[in-house]
Amino acid sequence: MADPFVTVSWLKDALARGDSSVRVIDISFPMPGEKIDMAEEFKKKHIAGATYFPLSEVRNKDTKFALMLPSPEVFADHVSKVHGVSNNTHVVVYDRNTKFGLFSACRLWWMFRVFGHANVSVLDGGFGKWCSEDGATADGESPAVEVGSFVATYQAQYVMQFTDVSTGLASKSVQVCDARGGPRFNGEAPEPNPKLPSGHMVGATNIPFFKMLQSDTKTFKSADGVREVFASCNVDLAKPTIMSCGSGVTACVLAMAAFVAGLPGMPVFDGSWTEFVQSAESRQMENLQFEFKAE
């Protein structure tokens, strides 16, 4: 099992020695409200040798819920052919979020773990730190890679469904941590999808994902640091816990935080609020809000 994070210096050394067992993948994804084409941003500048992972394309397209996990076969085919990943590859993922230093990278870290690949790490500090420390960059499309041979082994324990969350909250047998920002959680700001209300599941705890990041260095907090965040929100990681958010992206930051704290198997509600709000009864939700006054 790889360390959850690698440093810029570690990745520089690995690429400098031509370590063919390391593959770097850019999974940049726009934050809610951002009108950025991340595939085009990748073409302008990316870590030299990296390939681009289109999160909005490699997903289950047979559901109305956004960004749901693809099948093991679809995932394996994509990472083998586009990214040159095999089961012995050390995958390093990053994103280019400038506000926090990390946003979507943990989603791909989690996806690899769901499909049985524990040899995956996130670049601490992301693309911003890579550039600030003079890491080599390139432009253009994803480079051609030697096709890998990745066999996915689905790990169901990392993925929670609506019924798991709904019944767990009703029986108070699980804790649900919601990684969205406070205003969306509290029904004070709109969801990215205007057809869905903001608000939250009755019984859920709000832990905005960025609380797990250092505001100055934009790197991930230490094990003690993330434990303090969970404790300050009255979350006991010794109890069954499920991570959620808007559509399953930043929930994976909280899953990473639990991993850093010594609990590597914390599951994620794949459909998150997007699925819950369209599937639950009204009594299971609170602070629902559709209408917001223009500023």
Q: Which residue numbers are catalytic?
A: 245
| Residue 206: strand pairing partners | 178
Measuring CA to CA, how many Å separate 289 from each of 28, 69, 284? Answer: 29, 28, 14
Read off the tokens for 127: 């693309």
Contacts of 232-237 with CB under 8 Å at 24 or more apart are 233/177, 233/205, 233/206, 233/207, 234/205, 235/175, 235/177, 235/205, 235/207, 236/175, 237/261, 237/263, 237/266
DSSP 177: E
| Exposure letters 49-75 (e unless 16+ CB within 10 A, then b) | bbbbbebeebbeeeeebbbbbbebeeb
Phi, psi at 197, each rounded to 5°: -80, 155
CB-based burial label for 27 (10 Å; 0-12, 13-18, 19+): buried
156, 164 Cβ separation under 8 angstroms: no
Tell which residue, 52, 81, 69, has the closest CA to residue 116. Answer: 69
